[in-house]
Amino acid sequence: MLVVARIEGNTRVLEVTDSKSLFESLTKCMQKQDDEAYLRQYNATLQQALLAEIRSRKVRTSLKLVQKKDSHLGSANAKKLVISGAKKPFPDTLQIRIAYKWTTSGAKLSKMTQELAYRAIRRLQLSARRHIASCSPDRISPSSTLVQDRVLEVFNIDITEGKIWRSIRSKHISGMASQFLWKVMHDIYMIGHRWLQESMLEEYHDRAICVVCGNVESIDHILFRCEAVGQAEVWGELRKVWENMGVPWKDPDWGTALGTGCVVIKTDKGIRRRPIKALWTILWSETVHLIWKLHCERVIRKNGEEFTFQEVKNAWHATIERRLTLDRRTAVLAKGKTDLKQGDVECIWAPIVENYRDLPKGWVGNSRVLVDIKSGQG
């Protein structure tokens, strides 16, 4: 309708719509909405622009309301446009401009109510949040491209997108962690800017912002930047254990953590260190998944109350020890060629097992042998 209304001012125009609310907002409700500065209208800017175009025309603009059931040709075409628009990965940018002469300066004081004033405040808050979201460096589009870029930068390996998706199914990544990585890369978690979508009720908009840091709660924020007790402490525990092995540490990001199945670790002579690579994939996938679980627990079950440092530290050690126990049990049942055997598990986990050299032979398959993970201090 906006495009039609922009037709040369001397041409008579007949606008046809099957939307009763739009029709009424341009006719009998127009004055009331104008007086209330469109505070009740969801698509206020669009409506104001349309009205401004119609008002600026020099000749008559007619409106006709048609019934949906009449199968008007225009309705059918509009529906096709809606469907094709909904399939677009990114919305089109609409050029909305309202000539100053036709702008509404604000609501009339005589028409203002407490409810309208509250709506005005909420609209300002939402606008501010959207601005933060659009400017925030944390609003990184989660995709395999980010993983590709970071793996190339950190490990100097040029990987294909296919390799990333295959790496998620690595035998060193548990089923739950694999599902988590898959969902992150498909950007399907209901977090951050998704709570600010037009279709979302206003009462949910606060969920877009981290209550601890005040930043938009993107996956990047949750996993690598949030100041709540959690991510930094968990990565810190991994770092202590990792550096204790004498293998260079890399800061956690999309490549090192979410591309954990793609990393390649070599000796100074360029020989691939496969057991260390496997350990990296195990530890980093379990750690990044734990951070996500801790975040969910804090926000949903604990209603925002923070964990203590000790709780987070214990959670990390419990997670890694549980994973080692699982690998040991699975190795005992190994039958297939690609299954990890007891020797493989020993080779992978040895660098971080406490007092490894004192363990009895065959400890991997012997469930009576209790094994601890090094704490990282020595």
Tell me which residues touch Zn ion (CB under 5 A): 210, 212-213, 226
* Residue placing its CB nearer to Zn ion in the complex, 106 or 137: 137
Phi (first) and psi of residue 91, to 5 degrees: -70, 150
Measured distance CA(352)–CA(359) in Å, rounded: 13
Tokens of 7: 């037709």
Q: How far is the CB of 304 from Zn ion (least distance, A)?
A: 11
Tokens of 101: 């002469």
Q: How far is the CB of 302 from Zn ion (least distance, A)?
A: 14
Q: How far is the CB of 245 from Zn ion (least distance, A)?
A: 30
Q: How far is the CB of 225 from Zn ion (least distance, A)?
A: 7
* Residue placing its CB nearer to Zn ion in the complex, 213 or 232: 213
**Helix axes 274-296 and 175-185, enclosed angle (nearest 10):** 70
Q: How far is the CB of 351 from Zn ion (least distance, A)?
A: 33
Q: How far is the CB of 210 from Zn ion (least distance, A)?
A: 3
* Residue placing its CB nearer to Zn ion in the complex, 16 or 213: 213
* Residue placing its CB nearer to Zn ion in the complex, 56 or 136: 136
* Residue placing its CB nearer to Zn ion in the complex, 41 or 136: 136
Tokens of 83: 């469907």
* Residue placing its CB nearer to Zn ion in the complex, 1 or 223: 223
Question: Which residue is nearest to Zn ion, using beta carbons?
Answer: 210
* Residue placing its CB nearer to Zn ion in the complex, 29 or 211: 211
* Residue placing its CB nearer to Zn ion in the complex, 154 or 213: 213
Q: How far is the CB of 217 from Zn ion (least distance, A)?
A: 6
**Do 264 and 155 contact (CB within 8 A), yes or no?**
yes
Q: How far is the CB of 232 from Zn ion (least distance, A)?
A: 11
Measured distance CA(329)–CA(342) in Å, rounded: 9
**Do 279 and 255 contact (CB within 8 A), yes or no?**
no
Q: How far is the CB of 209 from Zn ion (least distance, A)?
A: 9
* Residue placing its CB nearer to Zn ion in the complex, 78 or 140: 140
* Residue placing its CB nearer to Zn ion in the complex, 243 or 297: 297
The Cβ of residue 321 has, within 10 Å, a number of other Cβ atoms equal to: 14
**Helix axes 175-185 and 161-168, enclosed angle (nearest 10):** 150
Who contacts 17 (Cβ-Cβ below 8 Å, separation ≥6)?
Answer: 1, 23, 63, 64, 65, 66
Q: What is the dihedral of CA 77, 81, 83, 86, to 10 degrees?
A: -170
Q: How far is the CB of 61 from Zn ion (least distance, A)?
A: 50
Phi (first) and psi of residue 302, to 5 degrees: -90, 5
Measured distance CA(215)–CA(211) in Å, rounded: 8
